[in-house]
C-alpha cells in the first residue's frame, strides 16, 4: 500500500525497498535550525536503511492542557520552515490542522495534512482537507474502534480525494492512560489505505494533575516492534535531540540519537515477517 503514496508525495524515496515508511520529527516546530538538523539526520539514517521518510512537525499546537502551554513560533513562520525542510532536505512533510480554514493555508506549504485524533469525526475539517488534493492522514480517535474509521475514509474519498492514510494512536484507558489494540491495524488496512502506528503518542499519559502530559518512552521499541509484526505500513515517531528540553510532548519522545538503533531492529522484524510470508507460513488466526 505504500506505493499508493509514491505517486503523490514528492521526494518519497525507497518505496520499492519493501520497508515500512516513517513519519518522524519534533512535536512542534521550535525553530529553523533545529528542524533542518532533525530532518537532515533522520534522512541520513532512513536513506542508509532504505526507509521512505516524511518529516513531521506541527506548525501550531492547539490541543494543550493548560493556557500557558507552548503553542508555537507563529503559523506562517513555522509553515515556511516546513517548506524549507522539504526543499533543502528533499523530503515530503506533514503537519496537523485544526479548523477547516487552515486546510488551504497549510496545503500551500506541506505535502500531507494530518487530522488530529480528537477531530477525526469533524466532517467539515475532513472535507476541507480532502479538497486541497493533498494526502490526508487521519488519526483514529482515542474513543473509536478501528471499524468506525471507515466513515472518515469515506468522507475524504467521497469529497474527491483518494489519498488517505489512517493512523492509530491507542485508545483511552481510564482517565490518564492509553492502551494499543493491535486488532485495529489490520482492520483499518482492510479499507485499502496505508495504516500507520503512532508509536510515541500511544505512550502518552494524558490528563495529569500537573496539567503536563506524561509518557512511557521506555516502551517505544515494544510498541513499534508489535506494530511492524502485525503489518503496519508506516510508523509515526516524534523525536528530538534532547526530549527533556522539548517545547511539547517531551515526556513520550524518542531521543534522536536512539533512532537509528531502533530502526535497524525494526527493519529486521520487517524482514522476518516478509520471509515468513514468502515461506508460506500461515498467519495466526484472527
SS3 (DSSP) at 259: helix
Report the candidate in 101, 187, 97 with the shortest Cα–Cα distance to residue 138. Answer: 97
Residue 1 grid coordinates: 500500500
pLDDT class for 85, splitting at 50, 70, 90? very high
Q: Quick one: pLDDT at residue 210?
A: 55
220 within a domain of the structure (yes/no): yes
Residues 27-68: tens digit of each pLDDT: 999 999 999 999 999 999 999 999 999 999 999 977 655 544
Instruction: Answer whether residue 21 shows pLDDT above 90.
Output: yes
Place of cell 506541506: 110
> Taken in order 27, 32, 37, 40, is the CA torsion positive or negative?
positive
Q: How far apart are the first and last CA of the chain?
A: 21
pLDDT at 286 > cutoff 50: no
Q: Is residue 117 part of a domain?
A: yes
Check residue 195 and give its pLDDT.
98
Q: What is the CATH number of the domain that holds 63?
A: 3.20.20.70
Give the separation between CA 35 and CA 29, rounded to whole angstroms.
7
Residue corresponding to grid cell 490541543: 63
Total number of domains in the chain:
1
Residue 200 belongs to what domain range? Answer: 3-10+17-275
Is residue 179 assigned to a domain? yes
The three cell numbers locating residue 280 = 508460506
Q: Between 209 and 23, where is the model more confident?
A: 23
Q: Any idea which of 6-20, 65-79, 194-208, 243-257 has the lowest mean pLDDT?
A: 65-79
How many residues can be counted in the chain?
Answer: 286
| Mean pLDDT in residue range 173-182 | 91
Let me know if residue 282 belongs to a domain: no
Q: How confident is the model at residue 234 (pLDDT cuts 50, 70, 90)?
A: very high
Residue 270 lies in a domain: yes
In a domain, 280, yes or no: no
Instruction: Grade residue 284 by pLDDT with cuts at 50, 70 and 90.
Output: very low
Residue 143 belongs to a domain? yes
Within a domain: residue 281?
no
Task: Provide the sign of the torsion angle of the four alpha carbons 243, 201, 194, 110, taken in this order.
Answer: negative
Amino acid at each position: 500500500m505504500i506505493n499508493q503514496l509514491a505517486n503523490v508525495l514528492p521526494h518519497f524515496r525507497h518505496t520499492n525497498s519493501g520497508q515500512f515508511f516513517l513519519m518522524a520529527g519534533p512535536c512542534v516546530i521550535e525553530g529553523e535550525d533545529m528542524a533542518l538538523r532533525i530532518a537532515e539526520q533522520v534522512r541520513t539514517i532512513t536513506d542508509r536503511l532504505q526507509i521512505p521518510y516524511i518529516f513531521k512537525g506541527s506548525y501550531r499546537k492547539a490541543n494543550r492542557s493548560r493556557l500557558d502551554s507552548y503553542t508555537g513560533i507563529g503559523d506562517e513562520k513555522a509553515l515556511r520552515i516546513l517548506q524549507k525542510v522539504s526543499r533543502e532536505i528533499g523530503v515530503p512533510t506533514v503537519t496537523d490542522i485544526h479548523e477547516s480554514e487552515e486546510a488551504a493555508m497549510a496545503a500551500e506549504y506541506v505535502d500531507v495534512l494530518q487530522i488530529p485524533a480528537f477531530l477525526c469525526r469533524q466532517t467539515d475539517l475532513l472535507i476541507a482537507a480532502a479538497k486541497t488534493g493533498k494526502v490526508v492522514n487521519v488519526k483514529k480517535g482515542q474513543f473509536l474502534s478501528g471499524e468506525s474509521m471507515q466513515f472518515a475514509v469515506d468522507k475524504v474519498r467521497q469529497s474527491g480525494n483518494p489519498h488517505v492514510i489512517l493512523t492509530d494512536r491507542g485508545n483511552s484507558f481510564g482517565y490518564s492512560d492509553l492502551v494499543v489494540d493491535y486488532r485495529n491495524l489490520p482492520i483499518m488496512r482492510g479499507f485499502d489505505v496505508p495504516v500507520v502506528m503512532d508509536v510515541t503518542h500511544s505512550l502518552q499519559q494524558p490528563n495529569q494533575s500537573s496539567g503536563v502530559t506524561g509518557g512511557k518512552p521506555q516502551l517505544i521499541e515494544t510498541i513499534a516492534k508489535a506494530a511492524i509484526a502485525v503489518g503496519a505500513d508506516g510508523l509515526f515517531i516524534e523525536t528530538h535531540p534532547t526530549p527533556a528540553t522539548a517545547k511539547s510532548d517531551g515526556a513520550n519522545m524518542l531521543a534522536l540519537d536512539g533512532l537509528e538503533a531502533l530502526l535497524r531492529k525494526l527493519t529486521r522484524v520487517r524482514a522476518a515477517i516478509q520471509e515468513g510470508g514468502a515461506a508460506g507460513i500461515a498467519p495466526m488466526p484472527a
